[in-house]
Structure 1
Amino acid sequence: MSARDTRVLLVTMCVGYFLVLLDVTAMNVAVPRIAAEFGVGGGPLAWVVTGYSVPFAALLLVAGATGDRIGHRPMVLAGLVVFGLASLGCALAPGIGWLIAARAVQGAGAALLLPGTLAVVTAAYPSPRARARAIGVWAAIGGIALPAGPVLCGLLVTAVGWRAVFWLNVPLVVAGLVAAFVVLPRDTGDRSRRPDVVGAVLGTAALGLLVAGVAGRSWTLTAAAVSVGALFVAAQRRGDPMLPLGLFRDRSFVLPNLGAVVMNGATLGMMFLMTQFLQDVRGLDPLHAGLAMLPVCLPLVLLPPYAGRVIGRLGPGPVAVVGLGTTACGIALLALAAPETPYPVLLGAMAIWGIGLGILTPALVSGAVAAVPADRSGLASAVNNTARQSGGALGTAAFAAIAGPVAGAGFLAGFRISALAAAAICAATAATTAALGAGRRAPATAGGR
């Protein structure tokens, strides 16, 4: 493949990543208008966000392992089709139940799509340094969805209505599908691996029950998730497992994925609360609330390519430590937020938060991918993204429960408690990563360790 073809392939896969993230962040700004139209609040509103994240997190492992076995081209194409049709269903939703169900199908499409985008990029750049730079670009272009989501959604919600957010997806999916069909290589995967049907069913059920249990505050579902998870672990000890448990004896694989859980849990949970704070406490309309979130989102566009170069020289571990520490500082400052807090103070806190995320994202992805052999890149991508999406769903559900309804007297206190908790968890993860020195050694050349 020529250098030009490789660049075109990289951009096309970044578009797929962009679509997946766009509908994560866009919904935060649309939530108050959805609540007003359907007359709901609290738990059902959180499910508009987590309804996407639950199937997304639950199916990523299966999608990544399947892509490694049959090739990533069919998985990416199927993901785009499912995602596009589900977006149409969201746009036409007559009620909150329909919307949540369509969001769940969207999440399934995103799960089919996402692992393949990173696996294709990894295969196109075999050199570790070139791969780290490419992952930085992948993270940056995908990261455009974070500022684009709130701003585009705010503009569309203010001018047209929240349904326009989903109508926007349809032409983007069609364009991405055409481009992917043309540029994706026809990889055959490794069909010598037997499909782990039992592992796929148990893993999907365990992840889905866990996220659903926390989101719905159901001890029954959470206990069921633990039980099914134990069965999954037992099943992975035999035969040709979907997820080789030996990977989790390698701290260079474990710590980037732990960081992914913490990063998305803190970030998406606080974004869910922050957009409500800006609209319902500070009185901003959806467009201005989206613009107010730009200090968090813009560093995710600007910094990853530069972070990728540093990762290529130093390894992902030290960069992850700096990113987690910076993220913790920014989120901790949000605990000072009040109805009368000057916006420049909030801007500074959100900018520090965003700088941390811009450094951290490519470090975590690079660390996870570097810890496995190239032919398991789909699995590595799936594990890392499962960690991120599970963390995001858990963080959103937990912080929504802590803060309660915006109209409630305890919202602001819950907002501050959530900010301090998120900052403390990020700081503790940074200290753990620094102490164990993850990412300081050469990439793995063998799997299933």
Structure 2
Amino acid sequence: MTSTGSASEEKAIDPDVRPGPTLAAVALVQFLVSLDLSVVNVGLPQIAEGLGFSAVNLTWVIHAYALTFGGLLLLGGKTADRYGHKRVLLMGLAVFGLASLAGGFAQQPGHLIAARAAQGIGAAALAPAALALLTRAYPAGKARIRAFGVWSAMNAAGGALGVLIGGLLTEYAGWRWVMFVNLPIAVCALAFAWNGVPVDAPPAREGRPDVLGPILATAGMTLLVFGVVRTERYSWTSPVTLTTLATAVVLLALFIFIQRTTTREPLIRLGLLASRSVAGANAYNLLVGAAMASAFYFMSLYLQRVLGTGPALTGVQFLPFALGVIAGSVLAIKLGYRFAPRTLLVVGGLLTAAGFAWFGLISPDGTFTTDVLGPSIVASIGFGLCLGPVVSTATVGVAPSETGTASGLLNSSRQIGASLGLAALGTAAHHRTGQSVSRDALNDGYALGLTLSAALLVAAALIALTVLRRAGHTTTYT
């Protein structure tokens, strides 16, 4: 792999940006998003008890966030490209913080689901804007490797502290604090971005943006996930399930049709997907999102419902995984100077799959040291190897006017994958468990879900190997 010298790297950087402060602000934003995901997962059993969620409906605490986040990310990225990345970033942080506050005061399941959906709207604005700012500040060279490595490490750090803080807050302060904790962090991130990130001038606007597209995309994905979740009550071949899934497919097809024919500025230029790097990275990210969200969900429930671990100790026992992701992210920086991103994606995907397959061997009489620690280390290092390269690959060669859209597309694929994966694998696990609440039955369901997560990661590695090209991807880091 080739690399440029420091002089050429400096020349490649836009003189209107401030790389250091921008990286710091974007890293803090990613820390917030990652923290929110992990802090809520640990508190799920207590949330279910406190608000009266059923076993199947509990997943909508995750789905509500993932669907609005994933469904509106393309609109968020397009809006950031159109009106300015910093402006949209600040707006998203404000919405995210207020929604977190509302979620902490929820009195019914519907209240919390609505707050989580509002959080997803805020995240859909801030996440692509933040990544677009990072891509603009570090367009090429070794500095790009380091920047995305720092971003990956902060992603993992948010997860590491999230599981620990979530466990401690849930056990000693109550589950509501897993929502409240986001507010002060969002305020700090808002102040940091306000002062540290320079205002970016958006390109000249051409026509009005498409609004119907994101509505159709969000509605289609919501129905798709809802149809999968409802297979617990209605079989896959029932008229209810078939009608729901068919309607979802029609709405998504209409979304694609409108993107091709609209006279307004489309939500996404479909030609962007003609790039093998963009298409391959997003397909990879979709499967990784499905596997990771499902695995975290199953392991949190396994530790608490099968092994009887308390929330605080559960948070501590997730730490090796999150710290391993940090180690893998740092390793990816060093290996990124020598190996193509495709190589890291393949190796990282297979290593994570091996760890999840090991998780699939859990038993009702297992312990942390025999059933959790070993696979956590293997899977987390592999996942850390993937994070930076997949983000960098998905934005390589993208025009500055489309960096927000490309970043939104990548985040969208992760969140939609997480929602669909959790719906499908959660339903499969529940079918394996049946109506029994015994430790043996629950263990069998969670083990199946973890094994299926490993299979998804093997498929992701195959996509990286066959779709992404060895040559050309080295330009991501050059």
Q: How much does 1:294 deviate? A: 1.7
* Aligned counterparts of 1:396 and 1:442: Cα–Cα separation in 2: 31
Aligned partner of residue 379 in structure 2, secondary structure = helix
1:230 and 2:253 matched = yes
- 2:95 maps to 82
Listed as ranges, the matches of 1:26-425 within 5 Å are 26-194=39-207, 195-217=209-231, 218-238=241-261, 239=263, 240-345=265-370, 346-404=372-430, 407=437, 410-425=441-456
Question: Contact (CA 8 Å) 1:9, 1:183: kept in 2 or not?
Answer: yes
How far the C-alpha of 1:380 sits from its partner, in A, is 1.2
Does the C-alpha gap of structure 1 residues 90 and 424 become closer, same or farther in structure 2, counting only changes over 3 Å? same
Cα 1:3–1:71 change in 2 (3 A) is closer
Q: Give the AA of the match of 2:401.
A: D
Paired residues of 1:57 and 1:208 also in contact (CA < 8 A): no
1:428 partnered with 2:435: no
Q: Deviations over 1:348-369 (max 9, x none)?
A: 1111111111001111111101
Deviation readout 1:387-418 (Å, 9 max, x if unpaired):
10011111222222122278256322222222
Which string of whole-angstrom CA distances, capped at 9 and with x for unpartnered residues, describes residues 102-128 of structure 1? 111111111111001111111111224
Deviation, structure 1 residue 312: 4.8
Counterpart secondary structure, 2:35: helix
Structure 1 stretch displaced more, 298-307 or 279-288: 298-307
Residue 207 of structure 1 aligns to which amino acid in structure 2? M
Structure 1 residues 181 and 439: alpha-carbon distance in aligned structure 2, compared to 1, 3 A threshold: farther
TM-score by length of 1: 0.93
Residues 226-269 of structure 1: CA deviation (Å, up to 9, x unaligned): 11111111122235432122233332221111111111111110
| Amino acid of the structure 1 residue aligned with 2:452 | A
Partners of 2:16 and 2:154 in 1: how far apart? 19
Preserved CA contact (<8 Å) 2:287 2:459? no
Match in the other structure for 2:11 = none
Secondary structure at the aligned position of 2:181 is classed as helix
Q: Distance in 2 between matches of 1:313 and 1:254?
A: 24
Structure 1 counterpart of 2:305, which letter? Answer: D
Q: Contact 1:371–1:443 (CA<8 Å) still a contact in 2?
A: no
Quickly say closer, same or farther: Cα 1:212–1:60, change in 2 above 3 A. farther
Question: Cα–Cα, structure 1 residues 192 and 308, in superposed 2: closer, same or farther, change >3 Å?
Answer: farther
Q: What is the deviation of 1:143? A: 1.9
Taking the aligned partners of 1:172 and 1:242, their CA distance within structure 2 comes to: 31
TM-score (norm 2): 0.88
Contact 1:50/1:215 (8 A) holds in 2: no
Distance 2:107 2:449 in 1: 33
Counterpart of 1:266 in structure 2: which amino acid? Answer: A
Matches of 1:133 and 1:212 in 2, distance apart? 40
> How high is the sequence identity, in percent, across the aligned residues?
36
Cα separation, partners in 2 of 1:151 and 1:117, compared to 1, 3 Å? same
Counterpart check, 1:20 vs 2:33 = yes
Q: Cα 1:351–1:177, aligned 2, differ >3 Å: closer, same or farther?
A: same
Count of aligned residue pairs for this structure pair? 445
Amino acid in structure 1 at the alignment position of 2:333: G
Moved more, 411-420 or 60-69: 411-420
Greater Cα shift, 82-91 or 9-18? 9-18
Structure 1 residue 316, shift from structure 2 partner: 1.6
SS at match of 1:362: helix
- The one-letter code sitting in structure 2 at the alignment partner of 1:407 is V
Q: CA deviation at 1:152?
A: 0.3
Letter in 2 for 1:243: I
User: What is the distance in 2 between the residues matched to 1:388 and 1:29?
Assistant: 20
- Backbone CA RMSD of aligned residues: 2.2
AA in 2 matched with 1:205 = A
8 Å CA contact retained: 1:267, 1:392: yes
* CA distance 1:8–1:215, shift in 2 (3 Å): farther
Q: C-alpha displacement at 1:215, in angstroms?
A: 4.0
Q: Which runs of 5+ in 1 are unaligned?
A: none
CA distance in 2, matches of 1:400, 1:162: 22
1:327-357 per-residue CA deviation (whole Å, 9 max, x = no partner) reads 1100001111012224223211111111111
**Residue identity in the other structure for 1:115:** P
Q: Are positions 1:441 and 2:472 aligned together?
A: yes
Task: Report the Cα offset of residue 97 of structure 1.
Answer: 1.3
Q: Distance in 2 between matches of 1:311 and 1:216?
A: 43
8 Å contact from structure 1 (residues 53, 107) kept in 2: yes
